[in-house]
Chains A and B, each alone.
Chain A
Amino acid sequence: MIRKLLVANRGEIARRIFRTCDQLGIATVAVYSHADRDAPHVREAREAIYIGPAESRDSYLRIEKILEAVRRTGADAIHPGYGFLAETADFAEACEARGLIFVGPRADAIRAMASKIEARKIAKRAGVPVVPSEGFPLLVKAAAGGGGKGMRRVDRAEDLESARAEAAREAEAAFGDGTLLIERYLERARHIEVQIFGDLHGNVVHLFERECSVQRRHQKIIEESPAPNLSPDVRGALCEAALRIAREIGYSSAGTVEFLVTPAGEFFFLEVNTRIQVEHPVTEMVLGFDLVRMQIEVAEGRALPALELEPRGHAIEARLYAEDPANGFLPSTGKILAWRAPQGVRVESGIERETEVGIHYDPLLAKIIAHANSRAKAIRKLRWALERTLVHGVTMNREFLTRVLDHPDFAAGSVHTDFAITYERDRSAEAVAKTALDAYRDARRQATRAVLPHVPSGYRNNPFQPAPPRAQVISCDEGHIRVEIDGAQYSFDVSEDASRHWIGDFSFARESRYPSEEGAASEESASSPMPGKVLRILVEPNGEVQPGDPLVILEAMKMEQTVRAHAAGIVDAVLVKPGQVVAPGETLVHVRSKGESK
């Protein structure tokens, strides 16, 4: 029996594992990096141990620091979550060696599947077809990888080398292993995976499939179960193939066997993920049980019960990311200013108000999972939930997700991994938000004004410029406004930080009414503060200077006076010579700011 479990992870998955532990009565230990000192997962664990700086390789990826945290807290089990050390065989092995319970598969299973090359061999042995490795287009990917990192599509032979080089660099950086795997890129294929589960007594079951075809940059964003429009024959064959592979390696704990399924119904083995998946909640929702609990119980040695499984209804998950869909899905960072999870659906989140979303970790903000008795109803529910989700402080992909849900191909269940929508910000909605923001700022300024808050905003007895049209404010409190614009009412949540205002789905840069002070110093020259004699000149023409650098030393009033640079720049000209007597205000050195031309 496990008494105390350490989660070697962070964010939503750490919180989700702690929740199950709380239900089981297992004490919990969180680990955290410098960046996560105030993260929700840290506060929710009974104990929390610092494991190093923000960079993953110095904290969450450091096996010895995790083991040290185990020693300090007396934890008897480790759950690795997903990512980080979840599929590092050495970690599982180190745990096993110390007599710790590793809530995951055995180290040898991890090792066997860690290399995609090795995994292909096992699949072949198990009689499962693998993706052919010849012909174009090709997909170059990291053998050790996951999450789309180190992945490149190559359409022409001449591009192969550069793609290999790039992918290898990325793989090396992300996984510490630049080994690549090259497979045919199967066009219009669907990504379908089968959840498998094994115990330590040789029992293996499958828990049906998940469809994960909607991806961006090879990263899943919407997952569902069951897969739509999948014939019972193909579904049965997929599940059977997954079981064969699981048996081949004697798999224990939760895992996922991924396949590509062509429009013709052919399927090919892709890889095995030897961990709990990000998208495991959709399986939980249709089956009605807790996969993490099963993981823990199996790790404790319990045999899998005889399960009569029948998926009920349809579950669909959307991943809310801090990223900008209008700008190549670039990750967005910042402090969460407002966060409101929708009601009536399952939400797994790693954020709260004030959480910093930084550059060091996956930008996943939350997973939102809807379950209903049909696919159409689940989609409708998820869409409703997304519309009611509020995140301010970072740019997110929420609108993008709802557009995917609205897409006829998605509704028809006919999407594949090449599915992409062209996304542009909704300009008319943006204009409404801007109008509402102006009204909000105005109303708040009025309400908080110390002097005459009830005098109409911008009152003029002699108007000079026409007053800008304002939305009709129905109600306005801090952080919220309801307005009427062009005969329609809208409610918005509003947040602000030092640089931006956030309203509804949009954010707008704060505009300064005055030029910035930084710009002001750009054309500074150095001049003498008082009458004196030049003692020494410390710079030469074309030399680079930083603010505060000494330029000239004067002798004045029997004292040495150092004249320093006001701003960074290049010395354009030195206008004085040593020994020269200078007048107050006389320019001594011309410094040109770097951007400025001569």
Chain B
Amino acid sequence: MVDTGSETYRANYAWMTREIDRLRAELKRSTEGGGAKYNERHKARGKLLPRERIEALLDEGSYFLEIAPLAGIGMEGEVPGAGIIGGIGLVENRECLIIANEATAKGGATGEPGLIKNARLADVARENRLPTILLVEAAGADLPQQSKVFVPGGRGFREITRRSKLRIPTISVVFGPSTAGGAYLPGMSDYVVMVRKRASVYLAGPPLVKMATGETADEESLGGAEMHSRVSGLSDFLADSELDGLRIAREIVSHFNLPKPTVEMAPVEEPLYPAEELLGIASADPRVPFEAREIIARIVDGSRFTEFKAQYGTTLVTGFAHVHGFPVGILANNGVLMSESAAKGAQFIALANQQNIPLLFLQNITGFMVGRSYEEQGIIRNGAKLINAVSNSTVPAITIMIGGSYGAGNYAMCGRAYDPRFLFTWPNHRIAVMGPQQLAGVMDIVKREGAARQGMAVDEEQLTSQKKALEDQITRESDPYFATARVWDDGIIDPRDTRTVLAISLSAALNRTVEGTMEWGVFRH
């Protein structure tokens, strides 16, 4: 039971509330595009803002789970959302990935963070077999950043056609310029809708054509919607207006014949415990542990959890539950990973694969246990088992970082490098190879030992300031905003939304047939 009157609970709750306020402020900023002035100018041209286009495309009352909304935050040349809005929502009752260019910010030009985010969105579409709707109004590459984006940028176009081959369709609705490389967005798409008098799609605009061949041509004749619909054939549907284009996109989706694979569903039940209490349960300080079962009780249907091996390897909680009726196998850290808990995790992952049950990782991990006796007992060998299982598992996995994510624990608990289908974090989450004080302390010891070997005296003052600087650097780099800016995750969420976000993620993931594996790398026993 959680004592909601306790000092710890109240302190955590107060801290988390402040962090959520900060998150909301940052998110709000991410929705403002190029700012009021550019937004007004955009609207004055009779155009919808990219987010208005998304709202008008979605089914009424549909959810929209935005992926990596804070990508690029705090990075050089930052634009809100890295210049792209991408997320999952319902169009004609079908889960689709919607990607819109943030046209009011730098004309929708893509920089490096945008490229990373685009690549992530392409993964989401492919891995979960989600039809993709591109709402195109893009200036193409951010030219001053061309050295960073030109070469890897090609991937985006490749991904569209590879998805096409996998029968995952892409629709482009072109609302404005989509030029040069950007022209291949519609070019590679399965369905292209162009908005009359708005779309302009060409390899080279009037100035470049004039330069190259001396031909004088206006935008409309070079790449207008009429020309592409009547003459070039690049456009399949000619829309009269932006809204008409969105209507056409919906109509196209309504004709898809892509039945969703089925899983055995349970009746949906709300948890018995309020999600609000998550704010006081999760520790503000990543070094203070908290009970994983209290988190599970506030996320799963009916707070029902069938715990597997409850008395064995107790620092990893494993068991079966349902979220919004979907079956899930949960692995949640409840302390540092030991040999037994790692082995138990590997066994549990194999079971979930045998039964085609999606996995949920609740990560709150400082790492694997260290020390002589643990090394002797084979902590590496057992940790490797868990990493082997996580790496080769083929059921969809969703990871929520609810606290610390340090060291090999990040890998063993299905961190980004292990390709969970979705990965979200809480505001109290911290991520690094180890804790800042630990890391700075290790470096301090290494330096002192180095000095001792060389017989040199240590400059205590310098060492102290170096240690402090390093600790500050690691603290900054462990911050959830630092992580989310680099798309190490799919976004920071309000802990109270965890169940909803999880349900949307699970449902999206289940658009691809769950095929658990019975084949693994060689287990080191």
Judged by a CB distance under 8 angstroms, whether A487 is at the interface is no
Evaluate whether A462 and B226 lie within 8 angstroms (CB atoms) in the complex, with A451-B95, A515-B243, A585-B231 already known. no
- List A contacts of B507 (CB < 8 A): 451-452
B60 surroundings in chain A (CB, below 8 A): 441, 445, 513
Main secondary structure, interface of A, reads loop
| Cα–Cα distance between A445 and B30 once the two chains are bound (Å) | 29
Of the candidates B63, B231, B324, the one whose C-beta lies within 8 Å of that of A460 is B63
Give the segment of B309-317, B475-483, B496-504 that binds chain A.
B496-504
Least CB distance, A48 to chain B, in whole angstroms: 43
Tell me which of B56, B61, B491 contacts A445 (CB under 8 A): B61
Decide: A464 and B55 in contact? CB cutoff 8 A: yes
Instruction: Tell me which of A442, A446, A449, A462 has the highest count of chain B C-beta atoms within 10 A of its own C-beta.
Output: A462
- Which residues from A are CB-within-8-Å of B62? 458
Query: Complex: how many Å from CA A275 to CA B60?
Result: 56
Total A-B Cβ pairs within 8 A:
91
Say if the beta carbon of B439 comes within 8 Å of chain A: no
- CB-contacts of A214-263 with B (<8 A): none
- Of residues 495 through 525 on chain A, the ones whose CB sits less than 8 Å from some CB of chain B are 513-515, 519-520
Interchain CB contact under 8 A, A454 and B51? no
CB of B240 closer than 8 Å to a CB of A: yes
From A442, A456, A464, B500 is in contact (CB under 8 Å) with: A456
Distance to closest chain A CB from B26 (angstroms) = 10
CB distance B243 to A514 under 8 Å?
Answer: yes
Q: In this assembly, does B93 line the interface, its C-beta being within 8 Å of a C-beta of chain A? A: yes
Given contacts A451-B93, A585-B230, contact A515 B63 (CB under 8 A): no
Determine the chain A residues whose CB is within 8 A of the CB of B226 once the complex forms.
Answer: 585
Most buried by A among B61, B240, B494, B500: B61
Q: Which residues of B contact A463 (CB under 8 A)?
A: 27, 31
Q: How far is the CA of A461 from the CA of B55 in the complex (A)?
A: 14
| Chain B residues positioned under 8 Å from A459 (CB to CB) | 63-65, 497, 500, 504
Q: Which of B48-107 contact A (CB under 8 A)?
A: 51, 54-56, 59-66, 69, 87, 90, 93-95
Task: Give CA–CA (A449, B504) in the complex, Å.
Answer: 14
CB pair A455–B504 under 8 Å, yes or no, is yes
Highest count of chain B CB atoms <10 Å: which of A449, A458, A514: A514
Closest residue of A by beta carbon distance from B506: A452
Is B241 in contact with chain A by the CB < 8 A criterion?
yes
Check B56 against A513 for contact (C-beta < 8 Å). yes
B61 touches A458 (CB 8 A): yes
A465 within 8 Å of B by Cβ?
yes
B326, closest chain A residue (CB): A452
Asked whether A452 lies within 8 Å of B231 as measured between CB atoms, the reply is no
What CA separation (Å) do A456 and B90 show in the bound complex?
Answer: 13
Evaluate contact between A457 and B324: CB separation under 8 angstroms: no
**B412 CB–A CB distance under 8 Å:** no
Assess the A514–B244 pair: CB atoms within 8 A: yes
**Once the chains bind, are B244 and A520 in contact (CB under 8 Å)?**
yes
A514 touches B503 (CB 8 A): no
Range of interface residues on A (Cβ < 8 Å): 20 to 34
Provide the residues of chain A in CB contact with B497, threshold 8 Å. Answer: 459, 461
8 Å CB interface, A522-563 against B:
527
A273 to B: closest C-beta gap in Å: 54
Residue B493, interface by CB 8 Å:
yes
Interface string of B206-230 (1 = CB under 8 A from A): 0000000000000000000011001
* A461, B240: Cβ atoms closer than 8 Å: no
Judge whether A584 is part of the interface by a CB distance below 8 angstroms.
yes
**Which residues of A lie under 8 Å from residue B94 when comparing CB positions?**
451
A462 neighbours in B (Cβ, 8 Å)? 27, 30-31, 66, 69, 87, 491
> B66–A460 contact, CB under 8 A?
yes
Indicate if the CB atoms of B241 and A515 lie closer than 8 Å.
yes
- With A460-B64, A461-B491, A584-B231 already in contact, the answer to whether A450 and B501 are too (CB < 8 A) is no
What is the CB-to-nearest-CB distance from A465 to chain B, in angstroms, rounded to a whole number? 7
Contact of A454 among B65, B227, B268 (CB under 8 A): B268
Which residues of chain A (410-464) have a CB below 8 Å from chain B?
Answer: 441-442, 445-446, 449-464
Cα distance A449–B61 in the bound complex, in angstroms = 10
Q: Which of B239-259 contact A (CB under 8 A)?
A: 240-241, 243-244, 246-247
Residues of A within 8 A of B54 (CB): 464
* A515 with B500: CB separation less than 8 A: no
Are B95 and A455 in contact (CB-based, < 8 A)? Answer: no
Question: Which of A442, A461, A514 makes the CB contact (< 8 A) with B61?
Answer: A442
A376–chain B nearest beta-carbon distance, Å: 48
Contacts of B227 in A (CB 8 A): 585
Residue-wise interface mask of A (454-481) relative to B, using a CB-CB cutoff of 8 A (1 in contact, 0 not): 1111111111110000000000000000
Give the CA-CA distance A455 to B227 in the complex, in Å: 43
Contact call B230/A527, Cβ cutoff below 8 A: yes
Q: What is the CB-to-nearest-CB distance from B268 to chain A, in angstroms, rounded to a whole number?
A: 5
State in angstroms the CA–CA spacing of A593 and B501 once bound together.
50
Q: Name the B residues within 8 Å of A452 (CB-CB).
A: 63, 324, 503-504, 507
- Per the bound structure, the CA–CA distance linking A15 and B51 in Å amounts to 58
Q: How far is the CB of A4 from chain B (nearest CB, A)?
A: 56
Contacting A449 at CB < 8 Å: which of B56, B66, B93?
Answer: B93
Q: Given the complex of chains A and B, what is the CA–CA distance between A462 and B243 in angstroms?
A: 23
A453 to B87, CA, bound (A): 19
Contact B95 A515 (CB under 8 A): no
Do A464 and B51 touch across chains, with their CB atoms under 8 A apart?
yes
B340 CB to closest chain A CB, in angstroms? 37
- For A514, the chain B residues whose CB sits under 8 A away are 56, 243-244, 246-247
Residues of B289-335 contacting chain A, CB below 8 A: 324
Nearest A-chain residue to B60, judged by Cβ:
A445
List B contacts of A455 (CB < 8 A): 63, 324, 500, 503-504
CA distance A511 to B240 in the complex (A): 19
CA distance A585 to B55 in the complex (A): 34
**Complex-state Cα separation, A14 to B87, whole angstroms:** 62
Can you name 30 A-B residue pairings with CB atoms under 8 Å? A441-B60, A445-B61, A446-B61, A449-B93, A451-B90, A451-B93, A451-B507, A452-B507, A453-B268, A456-B63, A459-B65, A459-B500, A460-B63, A460-B66, A461-B65, A461-B491, A461-B497, A462-B30, A463-B27, A464-B31, A464-B51, A464-B54, A465-B55, A513-B56, A514-B244, A514-B246, A515-B243, A519-B240, A520-B240, A585-B231
| 8 closest Cβ pairs, A-B complex | A514-B247, A585-B230, A459-B63, A457-B61, A462-B69, A462-B66, A464-B51, A585-B231
Interface residues of B (CB under 8 A from A): 27, 30-31, 51, 54-56, 59-66, 69, 87, 90, 93-95, 226-227, 230-231, 240-241, 243-244, 246-247, 268, 324, 491, 493-494, 497, 500-501, 503-504, 507
Give 9 new A-B contacts, CB below 8 A, not counting A449-B93, A454-B324: A449-B90, A458-B63, A459-B63, A459-B497, A459-B504, A461-B491, A519-B240, A527-B230, A585-B226
